[in-house]
Chain A
Amino acid sequence: MHYAGYDVIELENVAYSYGGGELLSDVSVKLAPGSFHFLTGPSGAGKTTLLKLCYGALLPSAGTVRLLGSDVRTLERDDIAMMRRRIGVVHQDVQFLDHLPVSENIGLPLTVSGRGTAAENADLDELLAWVGLSARASGLPPELSGGERQRAALARAVIMSPDIVLADEPTGNVDWEMSQRLLHLLIELNRMGKTVLIATHDLSLIRAAKAQVQARVLRIANRRIQLAGADL
């Protein structure tokens, strides 16, 4: 995908308030196509909120959020839903449809976009093998371990070959070995040209990534974004 002179995600002087308090203030961020970013900061700093602003789950109280060139304020809810098909999201508390097998959960973006089903998708087996879940394809989500759920969520996030992958604490519930495996998958996606933004407070993960990929680290502190220092 080529972008004619615009960043895939652009936040300009964005503020977000909830319950009378301002969680984010005057935040400006630009994510260029194919870039790799970490978003870090202490718990409760607003990482998840910022991530939700980046896929249209929340609308800013002030400022402008442009996703793939479109101002989210000008979009209808269904337009934002369509845009989400180009943005893969992985949450820390991964949610699945527990009554459907893992393979159908991974293929859910295809189903809802009318592009066939998981069973009809030739790439699904390859995708399951990529995340190491071939043997779990017919199982139900509650049968998966924390790491398997994260990998299944990652597979679901990328099955539509999105332009952007957003991950919120993707290694929060997994051990070191699994976190490295997940990081490796995300780096692979970035090498395929996807823009990756990972929200995490795990500095060791960031250091491990920076050894393999050129990543920019953004830190949220005092409701604002700062570029992280050399300590990272």
Chain B
Amino acid sequence: MKLTLNALQSLTSVDRQADRVVPPSGFTARLTVFAAGAMAFLAVFALALSMATGRLADQWSAELARTATLRIVAPLDQRAAQTEAALSVLQTTAGVESARALSDEEQAELLAPWFGPEVSLEGLPVPRLIEIIETPDGIDAAGLRLRLSAEVPGAVLDDHSRWRAPLVKAASRLRLLGWIATGLIVATVAAMVTLAAQAALAANAQVIAVLRLVGATDRYIAQAFIRRFTLRALAGSAAGVVVGIVAVLLMPSGSGEMSGFLTGLRFQGLGWAVPFVIPPLTALVAFLATGTAARRTLENLS
């Protein structure tokens, strides 16, 4: 614990001489900076994906939970009468905030992906759709179905629960996958930094021998490497986050009806602050990984 605290303190102290005892090693330096930068860039996208799917899940859940659809499946000559009857029932049903029958144009628009834009619904046995907006308390679906079966025999109530649940579940899984991806990225950073630190320590065995000969403690030697790798990881990660955020900003954005999953792949509100957690987190991971690698290597070299 004491070693960890001292090592943390050494990160903030400006001991240029201590930094200089470890020779600059180009390969491991570049590897650490590049790995931290690339992983931070990917982490920004993983977080954006996770947060976008999270919003989508919440949005679907909220929107679909408060809506229901009533289909009037009746012969053409009875459809208008049954629609009116259904609307009357709905007006007196607790939990219904509003209900309205979709117009022919709206229904034609819904069918356009299958029948094309010019299709006329006249003469087609297409059910009439009634959109129901529920109050926050919601409707008693079972009770409403009973009333409708008695008063509007051609009415079929769809409270969306059948397909809302899998959609929300899928979105939640995507959100989870985003966080798992972020976790894997952090683990990969730890592995890369550990490998780079071990390579640097092995390549500097003679330096370590000299430092020990002149009375350097393992703590001093470890801190020189820890500081170097932590600061490299921090710098690489910060650059990766900046590039990642710029890339997210350059993603096409949509609004209103044009807004979809891919166009919503960006941060919102306080979510923009989340990527800035990545550099200190990467530095912490590098700090712990280098510390572990240094302790193991110094023990093996003794």
Residues of A within 8 A of B (CB): 57, 77-78, 81-85, 89, 91, 95-100, 104, 108-109, 111-113, 117, 156, 160
Contacts and interface: CB of A to CB of B under 8 A. Distances in A.
A132 B214 CA distance: 21
Contacts of B210: 95-97, 108
Given A77-B302, A112-B220, A84 B214 contact: yes
> Which of A57, A89, A97, A109 has its CB near the most chain B CB atoms (within 10 A)?
A97
A89 B210 CA distance: 11
Interface string B288-302: 000000000000001
B23 A97 contact: yes
B215 interface: yes
Given A95-B210, A97-B210, A112 B23 contact: no
Contacts of A160: 215
Contact of B215 (A85, A96, A99): A85
Interface string B17-29: 1101101100000
B17 A117 contact: yes
Given A111-B18, A112-B220, A117-B17, A84 B215 contact: yes
B218 A109 contact: no
For chain B, what secondary structure do more than half of its interface residues adopt (helix, strand, loop), or is it mixed? helix
B41 to A, nearest CB: 32
Given A81-B217, A96-B210, 17 more contacts: A77-B302, A78-B219, A82-B217, A91-B213, A95-B210, A95-B213, A99-B20, A100-B20, A100-B21, A104-B17, A108-B211, A108-B214, A109-B215, A112-B211, A112-B214, A112-B217, A160-B215
A99 B20 CA distance: 9
Nearest to B224: A112
Contacts of A156: 214
B206 interface: yes
Interface in B186-214: 206-207, 209-214
Contacts of A91: 213
Given A108-B210, A112-B220, A81 B215 contact: yes
8 contacts: A57-B213, A82-B215, A108-B21, A108-B211, A111-B17, A112-B214, A112-B220, A113-B215
B13 to A, nearest CB: 11
Contact of B21 (A82, A95, A111): A111
A13 to B, nearest CB: 24
Nearest to A83: B215
A117 B213 CA distance: 17
Contacts of A117: 17
A146 to B, nearest CB: 18
Contacts of B24: 99
Contact of B23 (A57, A77, A81, A99): A99
B216 interface: yes
A57 B166 CA distance: 66
List the 5 shortest-distance A-B pairs measured between CB atoms, nearest first. A85-B215, A112-B216, A78-B217, A84-B215, A99-B23
B181 to A, nearest CB: 40
Contacts of B206: 95
